[in-house]
Amino acid sequence: MGEETRRIAPLEGRGFDGEELRVLPAEPATRLVLRASAEACEDLSAALGLDLPRTPKTTSSKGARAALWLGPDEWLVIDQAGANLVAACAGVPAFHAAVDVSHRNTAMLVSGPRAADVLSAGCPQDLSLHAFPVGAASRTMFGKAEIVLWRTGEDAFRVECWRSFSDYVLLLMEAAARDV
Amino acid sequence: MTQPFRIATAGRLGHADPVRFSFDGRILMGLSGDTLASALIANGIHLVGRSFKYHRPRGIVSAGAEEPNALVGIHRDAARRTPNVRATVQEVYEGLEAVSQNRWPSLAFDVGALNDVASPFFSAGFYYKTFMWPKAAWERLYEPFIRRAAGLGVAPDRPDPDLYANRFAHCDVLVIGGGAAGLAAALAAAETGAQVILADEQAQTGGALRYETGAVIDGQAGWDWAQTVTADLAARDNVRLLTRTTGFGYYAQNMVGLVERLTDHLAAPDPARPRERLWQVRAKRAVLATGAIERHMVFPGNDRPGIMLASAARTYLNHFGVAVGRNIAVYAADDGAWLAALDLHRAGVGVAAIVDARADVAGPHVEEAKRLGVACLPAHAVTGTTGRLRVSSIRVSPVAGGAARDIACDALLTSAGWTPAVHLFSQSRGKLVFEAETQRFLPGSNAQDVACAGACAGASGLAETVEQGLEAGARAGGATGGRTVAVREARGESWTGGMLGPADNGTGAKAFVDFQNDVTAKDIRQAVREGMRSIEHVKRFTTTGMATDQGKTSNMHGLAIAAAMLGKPIPEVGLTTFRAPYTPVTFGALAGHSRGALFEPVRRTPIHSWAEENGAEFEDVGQWKRAWYFPRNGEELHAAVARECRTVRASAGIFDASTLGKIEVVGPDAARFMELMYTNPWTKLGVGRCRYGVMLREDGFIYDDGVVGRLAEDRFHVTTTTGGAPRVLNHMEDYLQTEFPDLRVFLTSTSEQWAVIAVQGPRSRDIIAPLVERIDLSDEAMPHMSVREGSICGVPTRLFRMSFTGERGFEINVPADFGRAVWEAVWAEGRKHDACAYGTEAMHVLRAEKGFIIVGQETDGTVTPHDAGLGWAIGRNKADFVGMRGLRRADLVAPGRKQLVGLKTKDPDVVLDEGAQIVADPNQPVPMTMLGHVTSSYWSENCGRSIALALVAGGHDRMGETLHVPMPGGAIAVEVTSTVFFDEKGERANG
Amino acid sequence: MLLIHCPYCQEERPELEFRHAGEAHIARPTDMAALSDADFERFFFIRSNPKGIVFERWRHIHGCARFFNAARDTVSDRFLATYRAGDPKPALDGEGA
C-alpha cells in the first residue's frame, strides 16, 4: 500500500532557473534535530559517521550526510540519500534527543553569481565569503521567516525552512530576484 | 519652444538630448540631465508653488535636497501621483508631468492668498490661541478647516503600484556624500583594500564642484577630477558606488539607512523592477562628507520668486547652462555670492548691484566686480522687494540707516553663509560644538566609529576639504601609516563668512526665516516675547523648522533671532534635535518587499490544496489559512455549518487539524518537566495514554492547553493551540534553560512534521479501520485518550484517540508530505459512511456544545483554571508547577470572580453577539453594572437552539438565574446554565 | 537595529535574530509553595527599570535559540557585556555592577 501513498513536497514544481540565479526545491531528504550535551557528542558522531561540529556557524559533511551546528547542544543533521537517521542514533545510550523533522523542513537550493544578493534582500547577516565562508551555516531570518542558511559553495546556498514558510520564502526570493 | 534662459556656451548639458515635459499643463522643453528646476528656469519660470500658510507665490530657492519652496506633484499615471517632490531633485524625463500645489484655481491667481492679506491674524501661536472654544466647534469647524489647510500636495488615492526593494549590506567603510571630501575619502579607503560603499544623493558625484568654476584638484578642473575619481572607484571590486542615494538615517552601531532612487528619473521605467531600494548598511566605520548648506538672507519680501541662493544660481549656470535672470542683483554676507555674480556677468547676464551687509569687503572678487563696473554696496541691506509673481526690484538702505533706493532686477541671489550639514553626525549621537567665531555648530566628540570630512566638519576651503577626506578615508580603511593616496594640489574657493538673522533693523514682518512653514523673523521674536525660552518651545510655537525640509536653510537663523531676543549666546538657547530622515523617504521604501502577498508569511497546511479544490472557504488564524467551512450547492455559512455539525454527530466528520502546535519533549526527566510546566500530574500517566493539559503563567492565569500523549517513559508528544505554538515552546525553553537547567530534557518543535487529520463521530473507527495497520483499534486495546504508533496507508502514524467534539474520535498524525494522500484515503472511506469534511466554524460549535474552552476566546489572560471550570485539571499533590503560587494570590481566590458558565436565551432562536455585556437588571441607569460578557455564541443545530458560553461574576453560583444582555434592540433575557449543552454525561466519546 | 554579541555563537549578530526577555538575575524561588504574598510580589511583579545600566535577558531565538544575559546602558542603548545564562553579573568598568 505504501507505494500508492503519494508524497507531495511543499514546493513541488516551483522555483526558477536563470543564468545568474537559480532557486530550485531540494530533493526530499531525511532530517534530524539532534539535541545532546557535550558528553554524548562523541558517541553520536560515531553513530552518524561524521564529526558533529562544535564551533558555532560551522558544518561537517560526509558523503550525502551533513551536520549543521545550530546551537551549543543542537544540530540539524541532513541525509540527502534518505538514510534513517533516527535509527542511526537509537543505539547511543548517552542522553540525547533525536527527533525526525524530515517533513517539517523543506529546502531550496539557491545558486548563481546573484545568490548572495538575493539572500541579502531578507537576511540581515553579513554573507560575504569572509564572514560567511563556504561550509558555514546558521539559523537566521529571511524577511519574516526563520531559515537555516548553509553555504555549500561560493555561489551556492541551501536554505532550509519550515514547510509552511517555504511559499513565503520562495516568493520573497522571486521578488528579490527582480532587483538583482 | 525655445529655452530662452539656456546659455549654449555654459554648463555641461550642451550636447544632451532635448526632453519634452509639462508644468501645469504647459508643454516645455528641457535637456536630458536637467532637474525639473533647471528646466523650468531655462524656460524663464521661477514661480512654482504657493506657500503653506499665506499662499504666497514662491519660486525655486536652491539647487538641491535642501529646497524649501519648489515642491510639486509629479504625475506618471492615475496611480503614480507623488506629491511634494522637490523640483530641484527631480530629474526631467521625456513626458514628465509636473503640477504646482497648494493653489486654487491657478498658480497665478490663488484665492487662498487672502490668508496673506489677513496675515496679521495668522501670526505665531495662532492655532493655539484661536481654536480654544467652544468645544463643539472642534468637530464641526476647526478640525475640518485645519485638516483641509494642513499638508501641501494631494496624496494619491490609489494603492502604490510600484515595487520597492530591500538590501542588507555590510562594509568596512561607508562614505556618505560624493563631493570633493567624500570622493577623496572613498579613494583613500578603497586604496587600503577595504570594502567601501560610497553614496551620493545626486545623479552624478561631484557635490559643490558642480558650480565651483575655479577649482583645481590634482592638475584637473575640480569637476573633471571628480568624474575621474568616480570612474576609478566604479571600476574597483571593493567599491560599491551608489548615486541618487540619500543617507537618511544614522542608527545604532553604525547602521545607516540609505534610499536609492532607481526609476524616478526614467521616462519609461520597467514596472517589473523596483522604484526604490532601501539599503540597511552596517559599516565598520563611516565617513560623513555631507557638505554644507547655504543660508538665505533674512529681509522683508525675501520670498518672492526669483530670489534664490547664490550657489544655486551658480549651479544652474555652471552645471546646467541656465541663467536665472537677465538682470540680477546680489544680497549677501559672504564672498561666495560675489563669485556667483561674476560667473553670471561673464556669461552675459547683467548684474544690477552687489549688496553686502558687511562693511569690510575686500579681495580679488571685489576688485573684479568694481573693475567690471558693477555697483557694489557694502554695509547695505535689502529692506524690501517688489514684484507680484516675480521679484522686479529691491529696496536698498545703508545698514546704519539713511536714504533708501530702489534697484530693478529680475533675480536676486542671496547668501548668508554656510551651515555645515551635521544632521547625520548628530543622529549618530555625536556631540555638536558651537564655534563662536564662525557661528557654526560643528561635529565634536563621537559616539560611534564615524569621522566627518570637508565642509560638514568645518573645512573652510577646497584644499582642506580634500585633505580631510584623504585622511579620514585612509584611517577608516585601517591604514596605519597616514595617507594612502597623494593628491598633488587642491585649490579653490573658501567659504567662511556669513551672518545669522536679519541685517536690517525692521520689524521682521515678511522677512521669512522658514519659507516652507511661512515663519518670519517677527514670528520668532513674538514667540520669545510670549515667554518661549528654549528653542524647542520656539520651534513648536512658531512651527519653524517643522516642515518637510526640517529647516535646513532656516534653523540657524531662527536660533540666532531667538538668542538675540533672549540676550543669550546661541548654545544656551539650544539646538533642536536632528531627526531621521534627512530628507523625506517614501513609505514604499520603508515597507520594501513587505506588501501584498509578502506582507506576512501565509502558511498553508499540506491538506490546503484539497480543501481549496473542494470549495472550502478559508479563515485567517494568525498566519495560517484554515478551512472555515465546506459549502455545498451554494450553501451559506450557517447552512453549511449546521449540516457539518449534524453530520459529525450522526456519522462522522473529517477535519484538518495540522496547524496545532506540536512539541516533542524527550529525556529521562521529561515527566518531571511536564509536571512543572502543566497543572496536571504526569508521572503516573501510562505510556500510550493521553491527557488534556493546562498550562499557566507564573501569575496563575491560563496560557495554553492541549492534549499530550506519552509515547515512551521518556518521550511526550505535546500539542498546543494553533496560535500558541511559538510562544509555548519559548515559554518551555525559557524554564528549561534558565530555571530548571539540571533537568535532562530536550524540546523540539514538530508542529510541521505532522499533518493531522481528525476523524470525529460515531463512525470514525469504521472509517479509519481499513487503512490502519499494526494498531488494535478496539475500545479495550485503544480506549478514549490513548495514543499508538503504527502505520496508515503504509506510512508511519501517531494515532491519537481523542475528541474535541465529544464524539468517538481519532487524530491521525502522518509525516506532512503524506498528509494530502492520507487525507484523500480517509475521505474515500468516509464517503462510504456519509461523512463530511468540516471546517473551523463547525469545530467551534461542536466543542462549544460540549463546553470545551478555546484559549484566547474563553480566556483573555485573566482567567484561572477554576474560573474556566478546569479546577479538576490541577494536580492536588504536586509540590510545584508554574502558576501554582500565583493561583493562591488573594485576588485569584476571592469570591465574585468571573467564571465560565453556559447561557441559554429564553427565546431559543435568538443568537447572542459574542462580546456582548451581561447585567442583572436591564432597567438600571447607565452606566450599568456589568457582570461579564459572552465569550462564544452559536446556533447549535444538534441542540435545536442557540447556545453561548460566558464569563459571569460568581457565575458558578448563579445556575438557573435569569440575567440580561442589553442590546440596541432591547435587552435579551438569558438563563445561566452548565457549560455542557450536549451529551451531558459524556458517554459518546467512549461509545 | 542593534548588533548583539551572542555569548554562544561568539559573534555579533543582528537584532532581528533576537528577542528581549525581561530583567535578568531574578531566580524563581525553589520553594514556591511556601512563598509569602510579599515575596511573590517581589519575585513576580517588581522590576528595577533603572535609567542607566540594566541587566536583562535576551534570547537568540532565531539563531542558536539560547537565552543569555546582557548588561546594557538604557541611556546610550549600548551593550556593555553579554554572558551566558547562569553566569554571575560581570564586573563593569567602574560601574560596580
Torsion of CA B968, B974, B976, B978, to 10 degrees: -100
The total domain count for chain B is: 5
Given this model, what pLDDT does residue A106 score?
98
Query: Could A104 and B594 be called an inter-chain contact, meaning their C-beta atoms sit closer than 8 Å?
Result: no
Considering only CB atoms, C14 lies closest to which of A57, A125, A146, namely: A125
Confidence of residue A2 (pLDDT cuts 50, 70, 90): very low
Q: How wide is the angle at C-alpha B563 spanned by C-alphas B561 and B566, nearest 5°?
A: 110
Strands (DSSP E) contained in B243-275 are 245-251, 255-261
**Cα–Cα dist B397/B403, whole Å:** 6
| Segments in B387-534 forming alpha helices (H) | 423-427, 462-476, 521-529
Task: Give the structural domain span for A105.
Answer: 15-177
In a domain, B874, yes or no: yes
Q: Touching B: which chains, 3+ CB pairs < 8 A?
A: A, C
Torsion of CA B793, B796, B798, B800, to 10 degrees: 10
Considering only CB atoms, A71 lies closest to which of C14, C17, C65, namely: C65
Do residue B123 and residue B257 come from a single domain?
Answer: no
Under 8 Å between Cβ of B330 and B312? no
What average pLDDT does the segment A134-143 reach?
A: 98
Given this model, what pLDDT does residue B1 score?
55
Is B738 near chain C, with CB under 8 Å?
yes
Q: Which residues of C touch B258 (CB under 8 A)?
A: none
Do residue B843 and residue B854 come from a single domain?
Answer: no
Do residue B388 and residue B483 come from a single domain?
Answer: no
Do residue B82 and residue B173 come from a single domain?
Answer: no
Choose, out of A3, A11, A76, A99, the residue to mutate when testing the contact with B (most B CBs < 10 Å): A99
Question: Shortest CA distance to B415 belongs to which of B339, B524, B491?
Answer: B339
Is C62 near chain A, with CB under 8 Å?
yes
The Cα-based distances of B903 to B721, B912, B920 in angstroms read 25, 9, 13
Torsion of CA C87, C88, C90, C94, to 10 degrees: 180
Amino acid identity of B469?
G
Query: Over pLDDT 70: what percentage of chain A?
Result: 98
Q: Touching C: which chains, 3+ CB pairs < 8 A?
A: A, B
Do residue B679 and residue B791 come from a single domain?
Answer: yes
Do residue B273 and residue B341 come from a single domain?
Answer: no
Place of cell 453530520: B647
Place of cell 488534556: B692
Buried-exposed string B666-679: b where 16+ CB fall within 10 A, e elsewhere: bbebbbbbbbbbbb
Domain C3-28+41-84 has CATH 3.90.480.20: no
Query: Could A1 and B818 be called an inter-chain contact, meaning their C-beta atoms sit closer than 8 Å?
Result: no
Q: Which residues of B touch C1 (CB under 8 A)?
A: 251-252, 255, 280
Torsion of CA A123, A129, A135, A137, to 10 degrees: -20
Among B829, B847, B865, the domain-final residue is B847
**Exposed, middle or buried: residue C92 (CB in 10 Å: 0-12, 13-18, 19+)?**
middle
In a domain, B747, yes or no: yes
Domain with residue B317: its CATH number is 3.50.50.60
| Segments in B651-750 forming alpha helices (H) | 670-677, 725-734
Amino acid identity of B128?
Y
Mode of pairing for the β-strands spanning B18-23 and B96-99: parallel
Q: Which residues of C touch A74 (CB under 8 A)?
A: 64-65
Do residue B330 and residue B442 come from a single domain?
Answer: no
**Cα–Cα dist B227/B484, whole Å:** 20
Task: Give the structural domain span for B214.
Answer: 164-292+420-491
Query: By three-state DSSP, how is residue A90 classified?
Result: helix
Q: Which residues of B touch A131 (CB under 8 A)?
A: 170
Considering only CB atoms, A56 lies closest to which of C9, C16, C65, namely: C9
Closest approach of C5 to chain A, Cα-based (Å): 13
- pLDDT, tens digit (0-9, with 9 covering 90-100), for B219-230: 999 999 999 999
Query: Could A176 and B165 be called an inter-chain contact, meaning their C-beta atoms sit closer than 8 Å?
Result: yes
Residue stretches of chain B with pLDDT short of 70: 1, 120-123, 126-135, 138, 142-151, 496
Among B491, B515, B542, the domain-final residue is B491
**Cα–Cα dist A128/B872, whole Å:** 57
Query: By three-state DSSP, how is residue B211 classified?
Result: coil
DSSP code of residue B955: G
Domain with residue B26: its CATH number is 3.10.20.440
Considering only CB atoms, C32 lies closest to which of B737, B884, B889, namely: B884
Question: Shortest CA distance to B608 belongs to which of B590, B621, B589?
Answer: B621
Under 8 Å between Cβ of B759 and B654? yes
Do residue B354 and residue B244 come from a single domain?
Answer: no
Buried-exposed string B896-935: b where 16+ CB fall within 10 A, e elsewhere: ebbbbbbbbbeeeebbbeeebbbbbeeeeeeebeebbbbb
Among B793, B824, B847, the domain-final residue is B847
Q: Which residues of C touch A56 (CB under 8 A)?
A: 8-11, 64
Buried-exposed string B448-484: b where 16+ CB fall within 10 A, e elsewhere: bebbbbbbbbbbbbbbbbbbbbbbbbbbbbebeeeeb
Confidence of residue A26 (pLDDT cuts 50, 70, 90): very high
DSSP code of residue B622: T
Query: Could C66 and A71 be called an inter-chain contact, meaning their C-beta atoms sit closer than 8 Å?
Result: yes
**Exposed, middle or buried: residue B724 (CB in 10 Å: 0-12, 13-18, 19+)?**
buried
Do residue B239 and residue B332 come from a single domain?
Answer: no
Under 8 Å between Cβ of C11 and A57? yes
Under 8 Å between Cβ of B414 and B307? yes
Query: Could C65 and B282 be called an inter-chain contact, meaning their C-beta atoms sit closer than 8 Å?
Result: no
Given this model, what pLDDT does residue C97 score?
38
Cell numbers of A171, please? Answer: 516568493
Choose, out of C62, C67, C82, the residue to mutate when testing the contact with A (most A CBs < 10 Å): C62
Output Rg (C-alpha) for chain B, integer angstroms: 38
Buried-exposed string B311-336: b where 16+ CB fall within 10 A, e elsewhere: bbbbbbbbbbbbbbbeebbbbbbbbb
**Cα–Cα dist B842/B760, whole Å:** 12
In a domain, B84, yes or no: yes
Is A94 near chain B, with CB under 8 Å?
no
Considering only CB atoms, C62 lies closest to which of A56, A57, A140, namely: A140
Interface size between A and C, measured as CB pairs under 8 A? 40
Amino acid identity of B721?
T
Query: By three-state DSSP, how is residue B262 classified?
Result: coil
Query: Could C13 and A141 be called an inter-chain contact, meaning their C-beta atoms sit closer than 8 Å?
Result: no
In a domain, A167, yes or no: yes
Query: Could B282 and A7 be called an inter-chain contact, meaning their C-beta atoms sit closer than 8 Å?
Result: no
Interface size between A and B, measured as CB pairs under 8 A? 146
- Closest residue in chain B to residue C27, using alpha carbons only: B739
Amino acid identity of B152?
L
Question: Shortest CA distance to B989 belongs to which of B783, B777, B710, B830?
Answer: B783
Please name the residues between 26 and 55 in chain C that touch chain B, using a CB distance below 8 Å: 27-28, 32-33, 35, 37, 40, 44
Under 8 Å between Cβ of A67 and A50? yes
- Closest residue in chain A to residue B669, using alpha carbons only: A95
Under 8 Å between Cβ of C64 and A71? yes
Domain with residue B947: its CATH number is 3.30.1360.120
Q: Touching A: which chains, 3+ CB pairs < 8 A?
A: B, C
**Cα–Cα dist B64/B87, whole Å:** 9
Query: Could C37 and B889 be called an inter-chain contact, meaning their C-beta atoms sit closer than 8 Å?
Result: yes
Amino acid identity of B564?
A
Q: Which residues of B touch C33 (CB under 8 A)?
A: 879-880, 884-885
Query: Could C40 and B885 be called an inter-chain contact, meaning their C-beta atoms sit closer than 8 Å?
Result: yes
CA atoms within 13 A on the CB side of A35: 18
In a domain, A53, yes or no: yes
Query: Could C67 and B738 be called an inter-chain contact, meaning their C-beta atoms sit closer than 8 Å?
Result: yes
In a domain, A108, yes or no: yes
Under 8 Å between Cβ of B845 and B945? no
DSSP code of residue B736: I
Residue C94 has pLDDT above 60, yes or no: no
In a domain, A26, yes or no: yes
Amino acid identity of B265?
H
In a domain, A10, yes or no: no
- Closest residue in chain B to residue A73, using alpha carbons only: B746
Question: Shortest CA distance to B357 belongs to which of B403, B416, B303, B405?
Answer: B416
The total domain count for chain A is: 1
Confidence of residue C96 (pLDDT cuts 50, 70, 90): very low
Do residue B285 and residue B409 come from a single domain?
Answer: no
Domain with residue A95: its CATH number is 3.30.1360.120
Closest approach of B279 to chain C, Cα-based (Å): 13
Query: Could A1 and B606 be called an inter-chain contact, meaning their C-beta atoms sit closer than 8 Å?
Result: no
In a domain, B924, yes or no: yes
Do residue B663 and residue B810 come from a single domain?
Answer: yes
Strands (DSSP E) contained in B32-149 are 49-50, 57-58, 71-75, 81-86, 96-99
